[in-house]
Structure 1
Amino acid sequence: MKINIIYIFATILLAITLKAQTEKLTSHVNPFIGTGAIVGSPLSGNNYPGATVPFGMVQLSPDTRNIPDWGVASGYNYNDTTIAGFSHTHLSGTGVAEFFDVLVMPFTGDIIKEDAGTNPYQSAFLHKDEIAKPGYYKVDLKDYDVTAELTATTHAGFHKYNFPKNKSAHIIIDLDHSMKKSDWNTRIIASQLSFPNNHTVEGYRIITGWAPMRKVFFHAEFSQPIIKNQVTDNGNLYQNVTIINGTALKAILDFDTANADVLVKVGISATSVENARFNVQAEIPAWDFNATVNAADTAWEKELSKIKIEGTPDQKTIFYTALYHTFIQPNQISDVNGDYPSADFTTKNSAKPYYSTFSLWDTYRAAHPLYTLLQPERSADFINSMLLHYKAFGYLPIWQLWGQENYCMIGNHSISVITDAVLKGLPGIDAHAAYEAVKNSSLLEHPGSPFGIWEQYGYIPENLKSQSVSLTLEMAYDDWCVAQMAKKLDKAEDYNRFLKRSQFYKNLYDKQIGFFRAKDDKKQWIDPFDPLKYGANGGYPFTEGNGWQYFWYVPQDVKGLIGLVGGNKAFTQKLDTFFTLEDKPQEVNDNASGFIGQYAHGNEPSHHIAYLYNYAGQPWKTQQYVSEILNKMYNTTSSGYAGNDDCGELSSWYIFSAMGFYPVNPASSIYVIGTPALKKATIQISELKSFTVIAKNASAKNVYIQSAKLNGKAYTKTYITQQDIVKGGVLEFTMGGAPNKKWGTGADDRPENIIYN
C-alpha cells in the first residue's frame, strides 16, 4: 500500500513537473483583454485582438466599425456585433484612432451597388466563434458562412478564408477605409490599384491625418486566380481594370469556390510597391498558413520567456498579456532591405531596423525602462531610430507615427528615454551623438516644449502657452535628464545650466495654498484656482489631469518636493488626502479613470505616486496602495485595464509592480520597491545570468513586507538599482497581512537620499 501511495505521488509530481516544463507562455496570453469596456467602466484599454508579431509593422486585426473613431481607436470594440473587415495596421491602446490600412473583407452573394463612403458588406459575428492568441486570429462571419483566419509576420499579413462551396465568393480590398475623415482633417490624397496578373493586386494610398502624409504600399498575392474585378471610386464603377487611380478606391474580386479555401498574402511597405512585394516574398515564400502561425507563436514564446513567473492563473494571464501588449510596439517600419521613410519625406536606408510608433509622453515612464531591461538590443535600435529622426527633422520625436511627428502631448520625453539608455550603458549607441540631439532638442523652439520662453521666465507663463503648469513640471524633468548626460560626458557648464533649469518647477509652487499653479508673464498668480478642476490638451494649465495629480510630478527631486511641503509628516499627510479625497467636479477629462481618491490610474501622471510614501519613511502605505491598484485596476475581461493602455504603458506598470518595484524616476537607474504580488518572478538578464524576486507567503491579503534579503543578506532599503538587477541575484521578501512599520524606514533606506546629481 505504501509503495502504491509513493508511486502515485511520484507520478503526480512528475506530471506537474513535465507540465511546467512544457507549458507555453503564449497560452497565458488573452488578446481580448482590454478590447471593450463593460457596463459602468468608461475605458478598457483600447487594445485589439488580431495577429501581430513582436514589434512588427503589420497588425492584422478585425475592425468592428466602418469608420473607426476616438471611441474605438484600435478599430475593435468587444461590445460590437459586426465586423467591417480586416485591416493590416492598428495602434494598441492609444486615445486617438489611426492607421487601418488595406482593409480586406470576404463575402458571398450578390454585389451591392453602394453609395460613396459606405460599406454594405459587414458581417455579424459571435464571440463564441472567435479565437485570438499571439500571432493568430479566427472568426466565423455569420452573414456569409465564411471562416476567416489571420496570421502575420513582421511585414506581411496572411489570410485564410474558407468559403462555402457552390456560392459566389468575393473579396474586397478597400483603400478608403480610415479613421473618421473629419478628425485631424483625415483624407485620402491619392491611391492606386493595379492588377499585374490574375493572382496579384498591388497599390498604394497616400493619406494624411493624425500622422501627416503617410504613404502605404501593398502587394497582395492570392492562392486562386481572380476571375474578374470591379473597382469603385466615390460611387463610380469600373469593370476588369488593369490599373486605376482615385481617392476612394475599393476593389471587389471574384473567385471560384470549387476549392473552398482562398489564401491571401499581403506585404506592406512605407516606401514602395516593390519593397512590399519583396517583404512578402522574403517572409512568406510558401502557401503554408500553419507554418506562419507556428513561426509567430515561436517568436512570441521567445520574447515572453524573458520573464518567468509563478502565480495564480489570473496573475499569469494578466502578466503575460501585459508583456504581450508591451512588446507590440514600437513598430519596425523599415523594409526587409533596410529602406525606411525618413522624417524629411525621403526614403533612406539603415543596416539596423528603423522603428516608429513612439508614444513617448506615455511610454517613457515605464515601458522604455522595461525595454532597456528586457530588450537592450532593440532599445538601442529605438534610440538610434530617434537619432536618425533628429538628423532629418531637427529635433527628437515627441509622438512619432509612421516616421512622422504629430506633436501630440507635451514635453520631449525621448530625452528621458535616450538618457536612460546611455546612463545604463546600452551598447550600440553613440553617447556623444545622443547628447548633441538631447541638448539641442532642449534648446530649440518646437510645439512640444516652448524653450524660447523657458529660461527667460524660469517657468511657462499661462498667457503665453497653455498647459503651462504641466509643461513647467515635465520640462524640468527633461532638463534634469540632460544634466545627467552632461555630467557623464564631463560637460560641466552644460550640467550646471540644465540642473538649474530642472529646479524651475519651484517657481510655480504657491506655498500659501500648497499647490503648483499658473502664473502669467508678469509673475502674477492666475485666479481662480481649483486643484480639482481638470484640463484636457489645451486651454488650461494642466494636461489631462488636475492640480492634485500634477502636484507630485517632480520625479527628479522628490526630496526637494518634500521640502517645499514642509517635511516628511506634511508630505505623507498630503498623500493620505490625495488617496482618500473623493470629491470630483462635474466634468473630468475623458482619460481620467481608475480612481482611488484623486489618484487616477487610467492616465499616466498618476502612475508613480503610490511609490512616493517610500521617500518619506512610510513604505507600508506604498505597499497598501500598490496592492490595491494591482488588484482593482487589472482583470482578465475585455475591460481589463483602467484606461487606455497607451502602447503598453499601463501594461508595463503592472509588469514592474507585480514583480515588486517601479522606476519612479525613469532615467535614474533606481527602482522603488512596492509590494511583490507574484510568488516568484525571474528576469533572464543573459544566457548565464538572471535576477529572481521571491515573495514568501504572498497573497491578496499578505501585501505587507515583513523583511527582505538581497543575495542572502538582510535588506532594508526601499529601492534597488539597475546594477543590482543586471549583475544577477535573488531578492527575497517575506510577506504578511499586517504592516511592519520598522522595515525600510531608516534614514538610509529611503530613495530620497539617493544623490542623482
Structure 2
Amino acid sequence: MKTVNLSVICGLLFSIFPLFSQSVAKQPVDYVNPYIGGISHLLVPTYPTIHLPNSMLRVYPERADFTGDLLNGLPLVVTSHRGSSAFNLSPFQGSVDNLQPVIQYSYDQEKIRPYSYSVYLDEEEVEVKYAVSHQSGIYELQFLGNEETVSLVVNSRRGAMRWDGKAVFGFQQLDNNTKVYIYLDPDVLPVSVRSFHNGIWTKERQTSGDNAAVVLQYAREKENLTLRYGISFIDEQQAKKNFEREIRGRHLPDIAASGRDLWNKTLGKLSVEGGSEDHKAVFYTSLYRTYERPVCISEDGRYFSAFDGKVHNDEGIPFYTDDWIWDTYRATHPLRTIIEPDMERDIIRSFLRMSEQMEHFWWPTFPEITGDSRRMNSNHGVATVIDAYRKGIRGYDLTKIYEACKNALTQKTLAPWSAKPAGELDRFYHTKGYIPALREGEEETIPEVHSFEKRQPVAVTLGTAYDEWCLAQIAKELGKEADYRYFLEKSYNYRHLFNPNTGFFHPKDKEGRFIEPFDYAFPGGMGAREFYGENNGWIYRWDVQHNIPDLIQLMGGDSTFVKNLDRMFSEPLGRSKYDFYAKLPDHTGNVGQFSMANEPSLHIPYLYAYAGQPWKTQKRIHTLIDQWFRNDLMGVPGDEDGGGMTAFVVFSQMGFYPVTPGLPVYTIGSPFFEKTVIQLPNGKTFTVKAENFSGDNKYIQSAKLNGKEWNRAWIEHSAIVNGGVLELTMGDKANVSWGSGLSNYFNPVVRSDAPDPSVILAEDGCFYLYHTGIGIHRSTNLVDWEYIGNAFTDAGRPRWEPNAGLWAPDINYIDGKYVMYYSMSVWGGEQTCGIGVAISDKPEGPFTDHGKLFRSNEIGVQNSIDPFYIEENAKKYLFWGSFRGIYGIELTDDGLNLKPGAEKKQVAGTAYEGTYIHKRGDYYYLFGSIGTCCEGVKSTYTTVVGRSKNLWGPYVDQSGGRMLDNKHEIVLHGNGLFKGTGHNSEIFQDKAGNDWILYHAFEIAHPDRQRQVLLDRIHWENGWPTVKSNAPSSGAEAPEW
C-alpha cells in the first residue's frame, strides 16, 4: 500500500511537490508539474499525461484521480482524453492461477514527467520505468520478489491478441470504425505463452473478444525485462514499422533524454523571468497541457481517418485530430497562431480533409480519433478558420472551407450533441432568429433534441450568432458579398433574446414571449441545459464576443456594463453549495456568480477594458489566477479540457488575451512575470517587460510599444508576430486613466432625423453638423451632439425655388467665411431643382443666402442636387449629381459663382448621388451612395468608392472598372441593426491618426426616428477605405481629440 499520512496529503494539496520546488538550473520542462489539478473540485481531474507534443501516443496512470489507491495495470496507449488505456500491461510474480486480464496494483514512489514515468508496485515488488516517443514507448521492469515465475499480461479490452513467436500483435476495437493496433517486442523471449478470454486460460497463443489477453511467462532468473512497442491506427504491420523507426535498439534513458530535449525546445518558445516559482510551475504546466491535443496521426505518410473509415496518403501534410473545438477555439487555437502557425495551418487542412471525407461535407465541431462526435453546442470550428486567416496563416483552400462551414451551419441541426440534418428547430431559428425554449411541463417533440442535453436555446442562439459572424467574415474575405451581408445580419440574432428590463439574455417560447417566472442563477435542468449550457444566465450574459460594444449599449452604456460585471463577481449563489452544484456541477471556481471553471467564462474578466476600466481587468486577472490556478493538487478549478482552460492561463500570465477569435487583437491584462519573451517562428521575438513588477504591483501605470507611448488596453496580432517590445510600468495602486481615455460610443450618435450630414471642424474647435432641412448640431468629439437651431432665419430662408425643401448641404470655410452650398428641390422636380450658396461669419449662423448657382435646366444636368466643394491648386470646384451622373465645374475665386466660361465635366455614372472627394496620398477618392435612400428599413442605400490620381478621373475600382461605367468598391452597407447607410460626411482624422466618417441610416429597432446619424472609423486596406465589416457598428472605441 502507499504509505502516506495526513501531513503529507496536506503538503501535496497546498504546497509544491519537492520535485518541483527546487530552483537550481531549471529548464522549462522542470517546471511542469503534471499533478496540478489531479484532484477535481467536482467533476473530472486533470490527467498527468506522458506524451510528446501533439503526438499520437499518450498515456497516464489508470486510476480515479490522484487519491486513487490502485492502478489498473500499466497503460500502453490512451486514445481518448479521460478514457482508459486501450491496452494494458500487467506484470506479475508467482502462480498464474489467479491472474486477471488487468491486475490492480498498490503503488508508491510514483514520479511523472511529461516524457517519462516511474512507479514502484509495492505488493508485487516490481520497479517500473517508462519513456515515450511519438508512436512508440518503452517499459523497463525490475522484479524484486522471490517467486519462481514472472509473467506479463498484455490485454485488449475489446479486440484480439496473439503471439507470433517473437512479439505480441493485437488490436482493440474503438468506437465507430476505428481500431488501434499494437506491436510489442520483449527483449527476452518467454519460456511459455498462454491466452485468456472469458475467464478461461488456455495454451493457445492467440485469442479475441472482450478482455482478450496473452500471458508471457519467464523463469525467475529474468529479473529485468525491457518491452518496446509501437502503436498504429492503420494496422499491425504499421505498428511494427513505427516501433522499428523510433525505438528499435534504443534504451530508455536515451528515449527519455530525447523527450526531455523536445519538451524543452517546445516549452522554451516562451521564456519567463522573475515572478514566483509557483507561477512558473503553473505557467509551464499550463503550456504543456496545450500540447496534449490535437494529435498528429500520420504514420510514414499515411493515416487512418475515422471520418470515412479509410487509410489515406497524407501528401506530405500531417493529419491532426482529437480537438475539442468548443473548448479550444477560445484560447488554444489563438495561442497556436503565435507560437505554432505552421501546425495551426495543418490542423485547418486536416479539418478540411475531415469535411471532404464525411458524407455531408460539414465542417467538424468535435473531431476525435474515432470521428466527429458533434459534442456540445454550436459550430465553433468556423472561428478557428477566420482567426487563423486574419492572422496571416494561409496555405489552404478557403473557398472549400467556407462551403464546409456554411453547410455545417445551415444543413446540420443546431440541436446540441447531434449530427442529424437540420429540422423543425432549425427552420424556426432561420426564420425567427432564435431557438425557442419549452415552458415548464411542455413535452419535447423535436427528434433532433438529445434527451439529456436538451435544447440549450440561449446558448445555441448566442453561439450560432457568433458562428454566423465568423462565417460572414470568411465570406467577406472571399468577396461573397450577398453571403457576407446575410450572415452578418444574422450575427445580431442574440438581440432577439435580450431582455431590456433585466439586462440578461432570456429564453423565449415559440410565440416570442419571455419564459416567466425565471431565475438566471438557477435555471432549468441539469447544467441549466433547458435554457443555457453547463453554466447559468450570469455567464451567458456576456456571450457576445463578436460585438461587445453592442452588448455595452444594450445594457445601457459603460457605467451600467461595469456595474453588471461587478455585481456578477459579488452576487451570492442564492442557495446552499450542495443544491447549487448538484444542478450546476460545471459551475465551480466561483467568485460570486462568476465561474472560473468553464470555457464560456474565460473572456469575461477582460470585458472591463471595453468599458474604459482596464484596471479592474488587471486586478481581477491576478485574483482569479492566484485563487484558482495553483501549483497544487486542486490547482485547476474545473474540467481542464486538454488545453481549453490552461491556454487562458498562459495568455493571462503573459499579460494579454484574445477576447474575440476572428479579430487579430488581444486585450491587455496584467503580466505575472518581469519579462516574457516569445520566440517567434520567423526568428523574431516579442517581449513583455514589466518594470517594478511584484505580486502587489499588478496595476499598469504606463506603457510603451516599441518605444512609443501606448495608452490603449489592446495590441494587434501584427505587433506581436512582427517582433517588438511591450513595456509596462507597474504599481500597487490602479492608474485608472491608463487605457481608459478612449471611452466607447454607441450608434446612432444623433438620435433624430438628420439626413445627408455635412460636418466641419470650425475655428472655435467644435464640430458642426448640417443636414437636410439645414438644421445644425454641435459637438466637441463627433460623439455627443446637441441641436442648436437652423442655419436660416425664417426671413432669410432661400426662396428661389417655390415650395421647395432645402436638402443635402455642404459646409466649408472659405476666405474667413462659412460657406454652405445647399440643394433646393421639390420631390420629383428634376429639371427645376438646383444648388444655391449661403454665407455666415459664424458656424452656427444665421446664414445669408447668396442665391442660386444654377438649376438643372440651366446647367443641363437633371436632378442637380447634392453639392460638394473642393479646392485644388488654388482653384475652387463644385461637384454634384443624383442618379443622372456626377459632374464637376470650376467656381469663381470667392466660390460664390460659376466661373465664366467654365464647362462641366462628368466624372461618374448614373448609379450615384451624395458625392464627396477625399485626397489621401497620391489618390483622390470619390465617395458616393447607391441604391434607395428613403424607403425606411427597406432602403438599400450603400456607400461606395473609386479612386484616381487626378481630380477629374478616371475613378476606378480595384479591378480597373470605371465609375463612369458604375463600377466601384463597397465601403459600407446595411446590416441587422441599420439600413440605408449612405450620404457620408467628410473624413476627419483624430489625434491618434484614425479616420472617421458620419453618415445617415435607418435604425431597424426605431424606424420612426427616420434617418439618424452614425459614426464609424475608416480603415485603409491596401490603399482602399472600408468600414470594419463593411457595415455599421453598434458602437466602438471613441475618437481621440
Check if 1:296 corresponds to 2:259: yes
Alignment RMSD: 2.3
Displacement of 1:428: 2.4
Question: Aligned to 1:395, what secondary structure does the other structure show?
Answer: coil
- 2:291 aligned to which of 320, 323, 327: 327
**50-59 vs 226-235, which moves further:** 226-235
CA displacement at 1:228 relative to structure 2: 1.6
Q: Shift of residue 513 of structure 1? A: 2.0
Aligned identity (percent) is: 31
Q: Does 1:398 align with 2:373?
A: no
Distance 1:257 1:434 in 2: 60
| Post-superposition offset of 1:688 | 2.8
Of 83, 93, 96, 1:108 maps to 93
Please name the residue that 2:432 is paired with. Answer: 457
2:709 alignment partner in structure 1: 714
Distance 2:183 2:142 in 1: 21
C-alpha contact (below 8 Å) 1:60/1:86 kept by paired residues: no
How far has the Cα of 1:123 moved from its partner? 1.5
Query: Does 1:62 find its partner at 2:61?
Result: yes
Q: Could you tell me which residue of structure 1 aligns to residue 212 of structure 2?
A: 249
CA shift, 1:141, in A, is 0.6
Query: For 1:353-381, what per-residue CA distance to the aligned partner results, in whole angstroms no more than 9, with x for missing partners?
Result: 21111111111110110011111111111
CA contact (8 A) 2:228 2:247 kept: yes
Structure-2 residue corresponding to 1:148:
128
SS at match of 2:92: strand
Question: For the residues of structure 2 that align with 1:508 and 1:693, how far apart are their CA atoms?
Answer: 40
1:756, distance to aligned residue in structure 2 (A): 4.7
Q: What are the equivalent positions in structure 2 for 1:393-472 lying under 5 Å apart? A: 393=358, 394-446=361-413, 447-448=415-416, 451-463=426-438, 466-472=455-461
Alignment partner for residue 517 of structure 1, among 481, 487, 506? 506
Match of 1:180 in 2: none
Mark the CA change 1:584 to 1:330 in structure 2 (over 3 Å): closer, same or farther. farther
Which among 26, 34, 38 is matched to residue 35 of structure 1? 38
Could you report, residue by residue, the CA deviation over 1:569-617 in whole angstroms, capped at 9, with x for unpaired residues? 1111111101110224423322111111111011111111010011111
Correspondent of 1:228 among 170, 186, 192? 192
Structure with more of its chain in strand, by fraction: 2
Rounded to whole Å, the distance in 1 between the matches of 2:188 and 2:145 is 14
Listed as ranges, the matches of 1:147-546 within 5 Å are 147-164=127-144, 166-167=146-147, 168-176=149-157, 188=158, 191-197=159-165, 199-208=166-175, 212-239=176-203, 241-310=204-273, 311-350=275-314, 351-393=316-358, 394-446=361-413, 447-448=415-416, 451-463=426-438, 466-534=455-523, 536=526, 539-546=529-536
Contact 2:79 2:369 in 1 (8 A): no
- Distance (Å, rounded) in 1 between the aligned partners of 2:222 and 2:27: 34
Q: TM-score scaled to structure 1, two decimals?
A: 0.88
Alpha-carbon distance in 2 for matches of 1:628, 1:91: 36
Matches within 5 A, 1:618-657: 618-657=613-652
Asked if 1:82 corresponds to 2:70, the answer is yes
SS at match of 2:61: strand
CA distance in 2, matches of 1:690, 1:751: 37
Partner of 1:137: 117
After superposition, the C-alpha distances for 1:476-533 in whole angstroms (9 at most, x for unaligned) are 1111111111111211111101101110000011112221111122212223311001
Contact kept, 8 Å, 1:718 with 1:750, in 2: the verdict is: no
Corresponding position of 2:968:
none
Query: Is 1:672 the counterpart of 2:698 in the alignment?
Result: no
Does structure 1 retain, via aligned residues, the 8 Å contact 2:619–2:699?
yes
Which region of structure 1 is more displaced relative to structure 2, 248-257 or 400-409? 248-257
| Distance in 2, Cα, partners of 1:472 & 1:368 | 23
SS at match of 1:60: coil
1:609-663 deviations in Å (ceiling 9; x for gaps): 0100111111111111111011111111122211111111221111000111111
Q: What amino acid sits opposite 1:256 in the alignment?
A: A
**Distance in 2, Cα, partners of 1:734 & 1:538:** 43
CA-CA distance at 1:113 after TM superposition = 3.5
* 2:853 aligned residue: none
Q: Whole-Å Cα distance in 2 between the matches of residues 372 and 482 of structure 1?
A: 19
The answer to whether structure 1 residue 658 and structure 2 residue 649 are counterparts is: no
Secondary structure class of the residue paired with 1:563: helix
Question: AA paired with 2:29?
Answer: T
> Does the C-alpha gap of structure 1 residues 253 and 344 become closer, same or farther in structure 2, counting only changes over 3 Å?
same
The runs of at least 4 consecutive aligned structure 1 residues that moved more than 6 Å come to 19-22, 748-755
Letter in 1 for 2:520: P
Matching of residue 568 in structure 1 with residue 558 in structure 2? yes
Helix, strand or coil: the match of 1:513?
Answer: coil
Report the structure, 1 or 2, having the larger helix content.
Answer: 1
Residue deviations 1:421-462 (CA, integer Å, cap 9, x gap): 122121322222222222222221235485443311211112
Work out the CA distance in 2 between the residues paired with 1:557 and 1:544.
23
1:392–1:751 CA distance, 2 compared to 1 (3 A)? farther
Pick closer, same or farther for the CA change 1:608–1:48 going to 2, 3 Å.
same
320-329 vs 228-237, which moves further: 228-237
Match of 2:543 among 553, 559, 578: 553
- Greater shift in the superposed pair: 556-565 or 346-355: 346-355
- Once residues 571 and 638 of structure 2 are traced to their aligned partners in structure 1, the CA distance between those partners, rounded to angstroms, is 20
Letter aligned with residue 175 of structure 1: S
Contact map agreement 1:719 1:750 (CA 8 A) in 2: no
Say if 2:93 and 2:145, in contact at 8 Å, map to a contact too. Answer: no
| 1:150 Cα deviation from its structure 2 partner | 1.1
1:403 Cα offset (Å): 4.2
The change in CA–CA distance for 1:50 and 1:159 in structure 2 (over 3 A counts) is farther
What is the deviation of 1:250? Answer: 2.1
SS in 2 for 1:79: coil
Distance 1:312 1:408, change over 3 A: same
**1:386-436 deviation digits (Å, cap 9, x = unpaired):** 111101112121111114011210011111111111221213222222222
> Is the CA contact (8 Å cut-off) linking 1:531 and 1:546 kept in structure 2?
yes
Deviation, structure 1 residue 22: 6.2
Q: In structure 2, what residue type is equivalent to 1:566?
A: G
- Which amino acid letter does the alignment assign opposite residue 282 of structure 1? R
8 Å contact kept, 1:658–1:675: yes
TM-score (norm 2): 0.65
Report if the CA contact (8 A) 2:472-2:485 is conserved: yes
Question: Secondary structure at the residue paired with 1:299?
Answer: helix
Match of 2:855 in 1: none
> Is the alpha carbon distance of 1:536 and 1:375 closer, same or farther for their aligned partners in structure 2, counting shifts above 3 Å?
farther
* Equivalent residue for 2:737, pick from 731, 742, 746: 742
State the match for 2:756 in structure 1. Answer: none
Unaligned stretches of 5+ residues in structure 1: 1-18, 65-71, 177-187
C-alpha separation in 1, matches of 2:79 and 2:693: 35
- SS of alignment partner, residue 649 of structure 1: coil
Letter in 2 for 1:107: F
Larger relative contact order (Cα-Cα within 8 Å, sequence gap ≥ 6): 1
Q: Is contact 2:52-2:114 (8 Å) kept?
A: yes
Deviations 1:229-249 (A, max 9, x none): 22221212222x233222321
